[in-house]
Each structure stands twice: as structure tokens, then as C-alpha cells.
Amino acid sequence: MKISRRGFGASVAAAISTPTLAAAAPRRSSKRLIKPPRLRPGDLVGLIAPGGVVDDRLIQKSVKNIEALGLRVKVGAYLGAAFGNYAGSVQQRLADLHAMFADPEVKMIWPIRGGSGCISLLSQLDYALIRRNPKILLGYSDITALHLAIYNKVGLVTFHGPVASSTLESYPREHMMAVLTDPRASYTIPMAPENVVKAHTMPHFGIRTVTAGVATGPLLGGNLSIVAALAGTPYAADFRDSLLFLEEVDEAPYRLDRWMTQLDLSTGFANAAGVIVGVCEDCAPQEGRRSLSLDQTFDQHLQPLTIPAVTGYSIGHIRHQFTVPIGVHARLDTAAQTVTLLEAAVS
């Protein structure tokens, strides 16, 4: 079944590469970006939980993380609320998010964690409010839903990177602060040396080049399950001509295959400028179960491509991750194993 589905996808990709059909389907135009003001020492950070429920331990750790960076904290009014596994009702979570965007003193909004539930906020987000008050939004995992929706509706650069409760060691802290505080015209991010060491005993941390080359385009993507869930909605990632980055955690290979297939059928990996797969923790097959390996799962989607494609880059549910600015033009160099931002991510 998978072979025939891949075969169908390949035939469609071949068909749309013909001159006649390509002319009928114009490529994705460049989006005009809104860049948030840079983060400065002493700035006020809004601490919220737009997805999964949080406890006092996570709140206290997040406050310490923010203060250790020389920043101040404003806690959301409903932080600590619970509605099942969510951090309060949809209206409570929206209220905290909107309040942080509306407060002129808040310069950065930092979710404590991802979890689940952010997708429920998208249809009720006040995008006009966000457009009037551009500021840094940082986080990963379920926060992907907010990143993609805000990018689509506003054009605001947001940041796929550590959540407020992350353990900020030197690599993630260095690259996070460089991207958020220093508007450089060019900034090259190498992969984390700590992850290279881990690859000796944990192969999924290893960097693999599936297809070599150099590619440029806006960075777009995030958590694989969320990117796939948004396909076909007004908030979907239109990753044509983009550097598509994907990561996942604690999912079986067959689910990764399903989501990759969904994205390939909806937009087509061949239409991206390049594909970057991060470190997918706890996604190996369960012992004793028949399954493709993690590498085989990705390779069946990436090997047919002629665009640069890599796996094992320092993105994902891992301690040593770099911060990815959504929508910012960048260059992937598979030989150097680097991602270079080709413009500043903040103003």
C-alpha cells in the first residue's frame, strides 16, 4: 500500500514539473515579514501556558530561567489553571495570550511548555491585535500551531526554540540569545557538539545527509504532528520554496510515515527548497514489533527528492536545540552541516 501511494505521489510530482502545468500553478510568493523588536537586558517577559497544564514546579523553574537571563517576569492571570490536561479553558488561555500582546511593557511572550491544545486557539486569536503589537513569541512542540497561524495571518516572525521551562545549557542559550537580541545580517548556526557525542550511543542523534547540496529559502515548519494537523486549514504551512524543518517525539514510525505522507500529498516535499529533520526522540520501533526503522521511515520520503535533505539536526524535543526564526530566509549547507540566517530575525 505504501509503495503504490509513493508511486502515485511520484507520478504527480513528475506531472507538475512539466512546463504547461507549472505555469498554471505559480510558486509561492515571498511574504512580507514583520520583525519584532529585539530583546534587551531587563525587558519584561510574559509567562503563559497556551497548551498543556503546568504545575508550580514548572512555573518556578521558568521564572528562575527568565531572571537568570537578566529579564523580568509577568505571570499570566490564568497561569496554573486547569481544564483536563489543558492549562485552563480556551477562553482563559486566549485571555492570557491576548493580554501579553496588548501590554506595551511586555517585550517577549514565553510559553512554559507545549503539550496540547494550542490548535483550539487559532480560530479565535485576535490577529489584528498581534499585528499592532509585534513582539517575540518563543517555544516549540505544540506552540508550532501558534507559530504557523501567526505567520500565515500576520507575517510576524516568531521563534521555534526552547520553552520557558527548558534546561538552558550553553548551546541553546547562546543561539537563542544571539537570534533574539542581536539583529545581524548573517548568522551561522552549527549543530550542537553535545548531540554529536550522543550519537555514539544513540544513533538517532547522528546527522545524516540524505541528499547533499545547498538550499536557501524561508524557514518554515515545527512539530511534525502539528504541521500535518494544520494541512488543509487556513493555518497550514505552505512550504513551497521554503526550508521545511520537522521534529517529533514519542511517536511510532508508522505515525511519522502517515504524517509525512499527508504533507507530501497536500503540498509535496519536492516543492520545498530543502528539508531538515531534527532529532526525533523516543520514535524508534518498539522492541519485538514489525516496523520500519526511523531512518527508513524518513528515507522513503526524502530519498526520491532532488533537493537537499538531512536528518538529525539540532532541532526538537532535546536539550541542545537551536532557535529557528519562522519566515526568515536562511541557507542550508549539508557539507558544512550548518544553517545560516541570511537576515536579522528581530528589528
**Crossing angle of the two packed helices 294-302 and 2-16, in degrees rounded to 10:** 30
Instruction: Indicate the pairing of strand 338-341 with strand 329-333.
Output: antiparallel
What does 79-145 look like in DSSP terms, one character per residue?
TT--BTTBSS-HHHHHHHHHHHHH-TTEEEEEES---S-GGGGGGG--HHHHHHS--EEEE-GGGHH
Of the residues 147, 160, 242, 247, only one is catalytic, namely: 247
- Residues 192 and 321 sit within 8 Å (Cβ to Cβ): yes
Give residue 169's Cα distance to chain centre.
Answer: 20
Q: Is 187 left (phi over 0), alpha (psi -120 to 50) or beta?
A: beta
What does the DSSP 8-state code read for residue 326?
T
317 labelled catalytic: yes
Of the residues 204, 317, 320, 343, only one is catalytic, namely: 317
CA distances from 267 to 193, 201, 230, 243, 257 (A): 33, 36, 12, 13, 15
287 labelled catalytic: no
Report residue 266 as a C-alpha cell: 497536500
- Residues 141 and 223 sit within 8 Å (Cβ to Cβ): yes
What 3-state class would DSSP assign to 270? helix
Of the residues 141, 165, 166, 225, only one is catalytic, namely: 141
Residues taking part in catalysis: 141, 247, 317
